[in-house]
Structure 1
Amino acid sequence: MVENSNLSLEERVEQLRKAKIGESKGPKIQGVAHHLRERKHWAEHCSPKLISLGPIHHGHPNLQLGERYKQTWAAAYIHTTGQSPESLHARISIFIEDLTCLFDASLFANNDEFRNYQRQGFGSVEEKICWTMFVDGCALLHVLENPHIRFEDVPRDVLLLDNQLPFLLLKLLWRNADDGDLIRTMESFLHRHVWPVADADEARLGFDYSDPAHLLDL
Structure 2
Amino acid sequence: MDDIKMLADSVRSKFETLHPLSNGCCIYRVPQGWRCLHPNDYTPKMVSIGPLHHGNEELKAMEEHKLRYLRCFLQRTNVSIEYFLTFIKVKEAELRNCYAETIAFNSDDFATMIFVDAIFLLEYFLRGFRRDFTTSDDCIYGKPRLIDQLIGDLWLLENQLPLFILNELFDLAKAATYGDYYEGLSLFRISRWFWGSGFPNFPIDKDLLDTKFSEAKHFLDLPRLCLQPPQSPAQIGFRGQKMPGAMELHQTGVKFNVGTSKNPFDITFDKGILKIPFVTIYDDTESFYRNVLAFERMHGYTRYLNDYIIIMSYLAHTPEDGKLLIQNGIVGLGNSERLSNFFLSLIKECPMGTRFGYTKLVEDLRSYCKSPWHSWKANLRQNYFNTPWASISVAGAVILLVLTLIQTACSVIGL
Q: Answer yes or no: is 1:144 the counterpart of 2:125.
A: yes
Larger RCO, structures 1/2 (Cα 8 Å, 6+ apart): 1
What's the counterpart of residue 119 of structure 1? none
Q: Paired residue for 1:26?
A: 24
Which residue of 74, 82, 90 corresponds with 2:70? 74
> RMSD across aligned C-alpha pairs, in angstroms?
2.8
SS state at 1:44 partner: helix
AA aligned to 1:81 is: T
For residues 124-166 of structure 1, give each alpha carbon's deviation from its aligned partner in whole angstroms, at most 9, with x where no partner exists.
Answer: x011111100011101111122237331322122222221101
Q: Distance in 2 between matches of 1:179 and 1:171?
A: 14
Seq. identity, %: 26
Q: Which residue of 1 aligns with 2:174?
A: 176
CA contact (8 A) 2:126 2:190 kept: yes
- Within 5 A, what are the aligned runs for 1:79-158? 79-106=75-102, 108-109=103-104, 114=105, 125-147=106-128, 149=141, 150-151=145-146, 152-158=148-154
Q: Is residue 70–residue 123 contact of structure 2 (8 Å, CA) maintained in 1? A: yes
Query: Deviation of residue 209 (structure 1)?
Result: 5.1
Evaluate the alpha carbon distance shift between residue 202 and residue 94 of structure 1 in structure 2; reply closer, same or farther with a 3 A threshold.
closer
Q: Distance in 2 between matches of 1:60 and 1:199?
A: 33
Q: Which runs of 5+ in 1 are unaligned?
A: 1-21, 115-124
Runs of 4+ in 1 over 6 A off after TM superposition: 177-180
Q: Is the 8 A contact 2:188 2:213 kept in 1?
A: no
Distance 1:32 1:185 in 2: 29
SS of 2:93's equivalent in the other structure is helix
Secondary structure of 1:49's partner?
coil
Which structure has more strand as a fraction of its residues? Answer: 2
The number of residues matched between the two structures is: 179
Relative distance call for 1:35 and 1:180 in structure 2 (3 A) is farther
Deviation at 1:34, TM superposition (A): 2.1
**Pairing partner for 1:38 from 36, 48, 52:** 36
Amino acid at match of 1:140: L
Which amino acid in the other structure matches residue 31 of structure 1? R
Structure having the higher Rg: 2
Change in CA separation of 1:29 and 1:208 when aligned onto 2, cut-off 3 Å: closer
Distance 1:77 1:211, change over 3 A: farther
Aligned to 1:6: none
In structure 2, relative to structure 1, the CA distance for the partners of 1:97 and 1:71 (3 Å cut) is same
Cα distance change on mapping 1:211 and 1:77 into 2, 3 Å: farther
Distance 2:185 2:215 in 1: 10
Q: CA deviation at 1:173?
A: 1.2
Match of 1:212 among 211, 216, 230: 216
Q: Is the 8 A contact 1:145 1:189 kept in 2?
A: no
C-alpha distance in structure 2 between counterparts of 1:35 and 1:200, whole Å: 34
1:198 shift after superposition? 7.4
TM-score, length basis structure 1: 0.71
Is the Cα–Cα contact under 8 Å of residues 21 and 97 in structure 2 kept in the other structure? Answer: no
Rounded Cα–Cα distance in structure 2 between residues aligned with 1:86 and 1:24: 29
From 174, 189, 192, give the equivalent of 2:197: 192
Q: CA deviation at 1:204?
A: 4.6
The aligned amino acid for 2:23 is K
Equivalent residue, structure 2, for 1:4: none
1:32 partner letter: V
Task: Answer yes or no: is the 8 Å Cα contact 1:191–1:197 preserved in 2.
Answer: no
The alpha-carbon deviation at position 208 of structure 1 amounts to: 6.0
1:194 aligned counterpart, secondary structure: coil
TM-score after normalising by structure 2: 0.39
1:52 and 1:58 in contact (8 A); partners too? yes
Q: Hey, what's the Cα distance between the residues in 2 that align with 1:49 and 1:81?
A: 31
Unaligned runs of 5+ in 2: 1-19, 132-140, 176-182, 223-415
Aligned residues of 1:78 and 1:138 also touching (Cα < 8 A): no
CA 93–24 in structure 1, closer or farther in 2 if over 3 Å, else same: closer
